[in-house]
Structure 1
Amino acid sequence: MSENHWDDRFDASGFLYGKKVNEFVHEHAGRLPAQARIACFAEGEGRNAVYLAGLGHEVTAYDQSQVGLDKMGKLAREQGVQVTPVKQDLTKHRVSESSNDAAVMVFGHVPKKDQPFLMENILGSVKTSGLVIVEVYSEEQLDYRTGGPPSEELLYTPTDMLHWLKGWKILHFYYGEAVRHEGEKHTGLGHVIQVLARKP
């Protein structure tokens, strides 16, 4: 989806996906080292980045939408924290490699042809022994209609995800149902892929 698409979607008074951290990120945030350097990918309006900054981490948030990043800045100010925003198309441009203690990506949906580059970007951004936390909708989500893109082309498969994670230590991998109430766009029972993995 294009920069203009997301600028248009985020250009509203409310927060499309709410202001609260994603439940999977909240569940596993305790595994992060103290004062970690964290990169949040496809972060949109910033709910996860702001939450992690509130835990004392040094957070950089990447997104292609300037409108989304501006709203993240507003949310960060409301919460009294600082997050570094970076406007970047993560399917075309690399972030700094091996520079973070952890990387987070929640519902960052891109076309299948761009998914390998995005995942390589995320995995490559963390140091040895760094953690990656990912939650996305699977192709099965089309049957649930409770959020996510309405196209299989923009959803993920567990086979692809495990292929990208080859050689990593998998601490948690889940392919199945989960309830998500996040703003107006994630509205109940859905079908997700969850990853918590450590870089070898």
Structure 2
Amino acid sequence: QYDAVGLCYVHLPEAVRRPFYAKLIQSMKPGGEVFLEAFTHTQLAHQSGGPRSEDLLFTRNIIAHEFSELECIYLLELDTILLEGAYHHGPAHVVRFVGLKR
């Protein structure tokens, strides 16, 4: 069982994502945390990386729903600047989440 799980720009189709998150939560210890950062639908307006398919992108509501079994510690959509190499560089819109398993 895991104390912490990090999901950095893991963009999966919904049919894969939901069972993956369920197994992920099941595999966590009580007191374990999930840390997630991913692109939002608004990212489609930017050229700084990420999926070009809306169904692979997130909103705060999607994250809140899919991690509803966890206590939400932090959930925010925000603008940021990516400096992650040639393919992830420039203005971006992301969602950040921290959830705690009780």
Pick aligned residue for 1:160 from 59, 62, 76 = 62
- Aligned to 2:11, what secondary structure does the other structure show? coil
Work out whether residues 169 and 198 of structure 1, in 8 Å CA contact, stay in contact via their aligned partners in 2.
yes
Work out whether residues 103 and 125 of structure 1, in 8 Å CA contact, stay in contact via their aligned partners in 2.
no
- Kindly, what percent of the aligned residue pairs are identical? 26
Work out which structure has the larger RCO, using CA pairs closer than 8 Å and 6 or more positions apart in sequence: 2
Q: 1:10-32 CA deviation, whole Å, 9 max, x = no partner?
A: xxxxxxxxxxxxxxxxxxxxxxx
Q: How does 1:31-110 map to 2 (within 5 A)?
A: 99-110=1-12
Largest Rg, 1 or 2: 1
Work out whether residues 109 and 155 of structure 1, in 8 Å CA contact, stay in contact via their aligned partners in 2.
yes
Pick aligned residue for 1:170 from 56, 61, 72 = 72
Partners of 2:23 and 2:87 in 1: CA distance:
26
Aligned to 2:22: 120
Aligned to 2:42: 140
Letter in 2 for 1:145: Q
Higher helix content, 1 or 2 = 1
Structure 1 residue 192 corresponds to structure 2 residue 85: no
- Gapped runs of 5+ residues in structure 1? 1-98
Letter in 2 for 1:118: F
Q: 1:128-148 CA deviation, whole Å, 9 max, x = no partner?
A: 010110101011110112110
Work out whether residues 47 and 90 of structure 2, in 8 Å CA contact, stay in contact via their aligned partners in 1.
no
Partners of 2:39 and 2:25 in 1: CA distance:
19
Letter in 1 for 2:82: R
TM-score, length basis structure 2: 0.89
Higher strand content, 1 or 2 = 2
- Aligned to 2:38, what secondary structure does the other structure show? strand
Q: What's the offset of the Cα at 1:189?
A: 1.3
- Gapped runs of 5+ residues in structure 2? none
Partners of 2:24 and 2:91 in 1: CA distance:
27
Q: What's the offset of the Cα at 1:150?
A: 1.2
Count of aligned pairs = 102
Q: What's the offset of the Cα at 1:157?
A: 2.3
